Structure 1
Amino acid sequence: MLSEPLAAWIGRQRWFGGKGRVIDELSIESDVELTSGLRHLIVAVWQEGSRDRYQILLGERTELPDRLAHALIGTIGDTYLYDAVHDSERMSWLLEGMAHDVNGNGLRLRHVPDATIDTSQRSLALGAEQSNTSLVYGDAYICKLFRRLIPGVNPELEIVTALAARGAPHVARPYGWIETDLDGTGTTLGFMQEFLSNANDGWDLALTSVRDLYASLPELPAAEAGGDFSAESLRLGSATARVHHELATAFPTDVIESHEVKRMAETFRRKLGRAAAEVPELRRHVPAIEHAYHQVELLTHEVPVQRVHGDYHLGQVMRTPTDWVVLDFEGEPGQPLAERRALYSPLRDVAGMLRSFDYAARHLLAGHSQAERLEPRAQEWADRNRAAFLEGYAEGGGIISRGDAALLRAFELSKAVYEVVYEARNRPSWISIPLAAFRPR
């Protein structure tokens, strides 16, 4: 009976990974009562022969307040069923459970050793995320609930707790987590960290700088326009290098030999072929991209690999009053867990941030009536901040040799190829942003 309203509701949620496809079946694999009026569900959703699991915190009330009307899932008899992450009264169970290391019906709530959790804080669910749901407790904590569940320890929990134990300065302090067993494997359900209430999002700061540049006199260079971002890009590069150093110290490292590097270049080339077949606008750039990939195939030295962020861009960093803090170490949520925990060249993260600077520079030009006139200014802003980031990365101890430069360029172009396909499918008016990556620099 419960499966029907859940199936109708789940397909409309931002974090549901199967939007646009028919749900063939939804079944409830786990149903645990947490407290009166609150249940924890793990549901299996079958689509086109494949299964995904999701966690739902199900609230039950005989009367539904107006503040929860938007969270309604359905009714059974006289009982309203709703998404309880939006109910601050019910979500106090999470702080209480972590504070006291509660076990119950297969769920385990834990706090980080030596962490003290203030259980009086009230929750607020944030609505901006695509794949998870985050609860902010007062100005103290933020708890990310992983909606789509993959058996195993989430990389974010693994990495942040390891770095924090080492006293790493560029991560937010961890406080606790929720876990259960899926397929006999300990699996992370949620992770709580310090909420950076006085911090600013890196993407928002960058866009403010770009707006200031576009609003300034046309002849004023980016270095002299109000809100120049390059000093922050320099600090961010240095912070990124230090995070990479901490990751290389806290986790195993390795090297890949030249034949494995060639295999990586061939993977890039296959993805390019598929992308060019789908997006005609990309085809004229294929020879130049393939040339860049060929430069990687000519490399003869070993390439160091380690744990990395895996999904690094300006939206994953926060500027506190003292420095930059890096968030969201879970990698790309849509990728298998083993791939997100694999070792890569740290240049993959560097390339991701360089692409983010290009996006920040041109994001405001999509559909802009003066886009052609402002394009040189966008390129100037991107070049200035990319250079500052790389300078800061070197100052922080990051090493990019002549051979590494070829690999970095290949990582960046491969990311841009992915972006072209994404924009063609989802935001065609934005496709000019990643296409600009293929111009000679």
Structure 2
Amino acid sequence: MSALTDLLAEWMPHQRWFGGKGREWSSVTEDGFFLDESTPAVSVHRVRVTYTDDVTETYLVPLSWRATADDDLAHAYVGAVGDNHAYDGMRDREATVPWLTHLVAASTVGPMHFHPAGVAYIPEGVPGDVISGEQSNTSLVYGETAIMKLFRRLEPGLNPDVEVHDALRTTDNPHIAPLLGHVEVDDADGATSTVAFLQAFVPNASDGWRLATSSVRDLYAEADLHADEVGGDFAGEAARLGEATASVHRDLAAVLPTATVGPEWYAELATQLTARLDAALGIVPDLAEHADGLRALYADVGRLTDPTTVQRVHGDLHLGQVLRTTTGWIVLDFEGEPARSLAARREPDSPLRDVAGMLRSFDYAARHMLVEQPGDPQLAYRAQEWAERNRTAFCAGYAGASGTDPATSPLLRAFEADKAVYECVYEARNRPHWLMIPLASLARSAAS
């Protein structure tokens, strides 16, 4: 391997967006090109990691290069190659400027193509500031005008985030931030992958997770009050979020394909859910005590026969994917669950998968503080009360806007269980001390 390949192989596993944590590598290769050759120079690299199970993943790594080490960029330092110092190109503010410059110009740079949407102003010459706390991707905010998401793991095909936002442009849905442009890259085989996505930035907005968890802290601080008596009660917002979700689902069904499915779809869904469980058992042994109950639940799904409608959905909806503005909720990040293949994320699915994802998020918001105080029965009771109140409010809001109560569907419990299984795998690999949250959910589901 080259010196740069060695350097990236050492650096990547420590990045939050790297999805191969805990997996054994068999090989790693990279190729790159210069996006900008001024100072600092900016290069873009595709790093291909092959694991011992013969699965290969490709990650996008922009780097900035400086002739001397910069102490102000110590937090972004990747390492030295010869006399040149490499930095994370998304955390070096000067190195973020060329992305929008090329987008405004609709440039082609090597194998990379920039596609402005042509519907709104794109800020040129402005540096981007990285958003902390992201997981599978990296996002930059350019002033108060635009936000760019860099897709770290590349797969051939149009990313659903671009496809969905482009389709929804015609609906003027108030719960969507407009698409401004996207970037693609060609690989050696002629396939094209989505690299980045630019949309309008929503200023003065509050993250749904922070609003919800603030409500939970208010409840925990009031030992003698119930969830509906606390000043920070979130149920009204949960209901409005349910209405917003139903609105987005309605417009998605209007502009993208839908289908009516029956017994064969249910049978295939049950097979997929069971396969995901079997794969998770090899990673999270603690799931074993719930496996029989989950298989029985999935088998019940496989025996359903009533026709149902499938459509394009969000695919990974939770409180961290929504923003509260002065006028309502905005839904973000339509790329789907990162662990699923791009083809699977673009397939029509039940809107109940999104509902289940949000219900699981309410459970996380209610119980995340219990991680540090797992033995406090009073806090556990209050967490359960908050979760139930807001889950009910969300479903009521969704039902009021859509005419269909999601809580009555036999699919919802299976989708919630599947999401909890996914969470178990994620927590086992990234935050083992949080594993108790999805495991406890599965235990409650089995008990009910």
TM-score by length of 2: 0.90
1:67 corresponds to which residue?
72
Q: Of residues 88, 91, 96 in structure 2, which corresponds to 1:86?
A: 91
Which secondary structure state, in structure 2, belongs to the residue aligned with residue 10 of structure 1? helix
- CA deviation digits over 1:2-61, x for unaligned, max 9? 323232222322222223445443333342342322222223233323332222222221
Q: CA deviation at 1:108?
A: 1.3
Which secondary structure state, in structure 2, belongs to the residue aligned with residue 85 of structure 1? coil
Q: CA deviation at 1:388?
A: 0.6
What is the aligned residue count? 439
For the 8 Å contact 1:209–1:228, the answer to whether it is kept is: yes
Q: Distance in 2 between matches of 1:355 and 1:265?
A: 20
1:201 corresponds to which residue?
207
Which secondary structure state, in structure 1, belongs to the residue aligned with residue 196 of structure 2? strand
Q: Call closer, same or farther: CA 1:271–1:3 in 2, change over 3 Å.
A: closer
Q: Call closer, same or farther: CA 1:430–1:371 in 2, change over 3 Å.
A: farther
Q: Call closer, same or farther: CA 1:55–1:300 in 2, change over 3 Å.
A: closer
For structure 2, which runs of at least 5 residues remain unmatched after alignment?
A: none
2:348 corresponds to which residue?
343
Q: Of residues 310, 317, 335 in structure 2, which corresponds to 1:312?
A: 317
Q: CA deviation at 1:153?
A: 0.9
Q: Distance in 2 between matches of 1:391 and 1:259?
A: 30
1:416 corresponds to which residue?
420
1:210 aligns to 2:239 (yes or no): no
Q: Distance in 2 between matches of 1:287 and 1:4?
A: 44
1:118 aligns to 2:123 (yes or no): yes
Q: CA deviation at 1:433?
A: 2.4
1:438 corresponds to which residue?
445
For the 8 Å contact 2:123–2:142, the answer to whether it is kept is: no
Q: CA deviation at 1:346?
A: 0.4
For the 8 Å contact 1:289–1:438, the answer to whether it is kept is: no
Q: Call closer, same or farther: CA 1:67–1:428 in 2, change over 3 Å.
A: closer
- CA deviation digits over 1:186-213, x for unaligned, max 9? 3211011122221111111110111111
1:354 aligns to 2:359 (yes or no): yes
1:188 corresponds to which residue?
194
Q: CA deviation at 1:62?
A: 1.2
1:42 corresponds to which residue?
46
For the 8 Å contact 1:7–1:23, the answer to whether it is kept is: no
Q: Distance in 1 between matches of 2:144 and 2:94?
A: 17
1:400 aligns to 2:402 (yes or no): no
Q: Distance in 2 between matches of 1:415 and 1:206?
A: 20
- CA deviation digits over 1:166-197, x for unaligned, max 9? 21211112212111212322321101112222
Q: Call closer, same or farther: CA 1:17–1:374 in 2, change over 3 Å.
A: closer
Q: CA deviation at 1:405?
A: 1.5
Q: Call closer, same or farther: CA 1:391–1:6 in 2, change over 3 Å.
A: same
For the 8 Å contact 1:256–1:302, the answer to whether it is kept is: yes
Q: Distance in 2 between matches of 1:423 and 1:4?
A: 28
Q: Distance in 2 between matches of 1:426 and 1:27?
A: 25
Q: Call closer, same or farther: CA 1:64–1:222 in 2, change over 3 Å.
A: same
2:244 corresponds to which residue?
239
Q: Distance in 1 between matches of 2:152 and 2:432?
A: 28
Q: CA deviation at 1:165?
A: 3.1
- % identity of equivalent residues: 46
**Residue type matched to 1:347 in 2?**
L
For the 8 Å contact 1:234–1:390, the answer to whether it is kept is: yes
Q: Distance in 2 between matches of 1:321 and 1:306?
A: 30
Which secondary structure state, in structure 1, belongs to the residue aligned with residue 243 of structure 2? helix
For the 8 Å contact 2:22–2:429, the answer to whether it is kept is: no
1:228 corresponds to which residue?
233
CA RMSD of aligned residues (A): 2.4
Which moves more between the two structures, 425-434 or 203-212?
425-434
Which secondary structure state, in structure 2, belongs to the residue aligned with residue 223 of structure 1? helix
For the 8 Å contact 2:30–2:46, the answer to whether it is kept is: yes
1:127 corresponds to which residue?
132
Which secondary structure state, in structure 1, belongs to the residue aligned with residue 169 of structure 2? helix
Which secondary structure state, in structure 1, belongs to the residue aligned with residue 389 of structure 2? helix
Q: CA deviation at 1:63?
A: 2.0
**Residue type matched to 1:67 in 2?**
D
**Residue type matched to 1:337 in 2?**
L
Q: Call closer, same or farther: CA 1:295–1:12 in 2, change over 3 Å.
A: closer
**Residue type matched to 2:384 in 1?**
Q
- CA deviation digits over 1:94-123, x for unaligned, max 9? 121111211222211121122221214321
